[in-house]
Amino acid sequence: MTLEHAIREALSRSELPLKAAEIVKLVKPAVGREATPKAVAAVLAALSSSGALNSIAAGTRSKPQPLFTPHSLETAASALLKHWLHAVGKEQQVVKLKAKLPPGLQPCFEAALDSLVAAGAAFVLPGAKPLVYAHKPQPSALLDAPLRRSLQKVLRTVNSVRTPPASLDDLIAWLDAAPSAPPVESACAPEEADLHAWYDLDRIRSSSVMIPIPQTFARYQAWAAERGGVADSQVLRNLIETLYINGHLLLEPCERPQDLPEHERALLVPMSLGPPGYSWCWLSSSTSS
């Protein structure tokens, strides 16, 4: 393995931008004596000049220590911010967090922080001095000692007319409690008898024995709503397909399914041959039963 290949590989494996001295340590096991500080510096300079690496100004004027990465500057800034936030484990002021970035990455601070927030890897608490957290904190974590004392005063006042009295622990538990999820409406599953009833209602008003499945689905929706549930197109499709396979009903194919609106295409029932079924009717034996 050449020195350049080893350097490229080491940097590609690291999310964080690295100093030349760190790169020397990483590549030395692979290339041995060839990985001298001078040789590594020369390869890094060449790769930076060609655009294969980003060289990030860091350190001080008197002692510059550039960082190197194959990633974009914004990605490098995000990686450093995420590393610091999760390593420290406590909130940090936005101003101080930005100051920690190397000079070459500070113009990317806002964009990098926005990308971390969007990815759920950081949380910004607004205020006169905005704070950055590694994770969204519990509401009670924002209650400092003065706020807790203020809440105790409020509780002493309201508890004089409240039954039963509330404690600070009760209030904190209420603050931290996650809102309950809204109930999920369950899909109602009709039976063959329900299909018979809907078919009879539509057949009276139709000049054809074939009833479009979307028309049946509308009956199904009204029936499900009366029962406090919802209609599921897949449930109706499965029921009609089962009855078709068992020889209880006939299907009339849709010759150009691509011309149908999406919600009607979702109701088409596969047939053994040809296009999927769009309309249906009972077989005489099933209808008479």
Give tens-digit pLDDT for 229-266: 899 999 999 999 999 999 999 999 998 888 888 889 98
Indicate the DSSP class of residue 184. Answer: P
pLDDT for position 62: 87
- On whether residue 279 sits in a domain, the answer given is yes
- The backbone region for 89, taken as left when phi is positive above 0, alpha when psi lies in -120 to 50, beta otherwise, is left
Domain count, the chain: 3
Give tens-digit pLDDT for 151-172: 999 999 999 999 899 999 999 9
Written as one letter, the residue type at 168 is L
pLDDT for position 184: 65
Q: For residue 33, what are the domain limits?
A: 3-69
Whether 70 and 53 have beta carbons less than 8 Å apart is answered as: yes
- On whether residue 159 sits in a domain, the answer given is no
- Rg (alpha carbons) of the chain, rounded to whole number: 34
Residue 66 CA to residue 282 CA, distance in Å, equals 79
Give tens-digit pLDDT for 98-119: 999 999 999 999 999 999 999 8
Does the bond joining 164 to the residue before it have cis omega, within 30 degrees of 0?
A: yes
Query: Are 82 and 121 members of one domain?
Result: yes
- Residue 130, pLDDT > 70, answer yes
Q: Where are the alpha helices (DSSP H) in the chain?
A: 3-13, 20-31, 37-50, 73-88, 94-100, 109-118, 145-158, 168-176, 192-204, 213-226, 233-245, 262-265, 284-288
pLDDT for position 289: 42
- Residue 137, pLDDT > 80, answer yes
Query: Are 211 and 230 members of one domain?
Result: yes
Task: Classify burial at 199, counting beta carbons within 10 Å of its beta carbon; exposed 0-12, middle 13-18, buried 19 or more.
Answer: buried
- On whether residue 168 sits in a domain, the answer given is no
**Residue 8's closest CA among 26, 29, 34?**
26
**Residue 175's closest CA among 164, 166, 184?**
166
- On whether residue 187 sits in a domain, the answer given is no
Residue 244 CA to residue 271 CA, distance in Å, equals 8
- On whether residue 11 sits in a domain, the answer given is yes
Task: Extract the tokens encoding 101.
Answer: 């970035």
Residue 191 CA to residue 224 CA, distance in Å, equals 12
Indicate the DSSP class of residue 246. Answer: T
| pLDDT tier at 183, thresholds 50, 70, 90 | low
Task: Extract the tokens encoding 222.
Answer: 């009204």
Residue 238 CA to residue 150 CA, distance in Å, equals 61
Give tens-digit pLDDT for 216-233: 999 999 999 998 889 999
Q: Where are the alpha helices (DSSP H) in 186-280?
A: 192-204, 213-226, 233-245, 262-265
Residue 282 CA to residue 199 CA, distance in Å, equals 8
Query: Are 238 and 272 members of one domain?
Result: yes
The domain boundary residue, chosen from 105, 122, 139:
139
- On whether residue 208 sits in a domain, the answer given is yes
Q: What is the pTM of this model?
A: 0.56
CATH code of the domain covering residue 14: 1.10.10.10
| pLDDT tier at 288, thresholds 50, 70, 90 | very low
Give tens-digit pLDDT for 36-63: 999 999 999 999 999 999 999 998 888 8
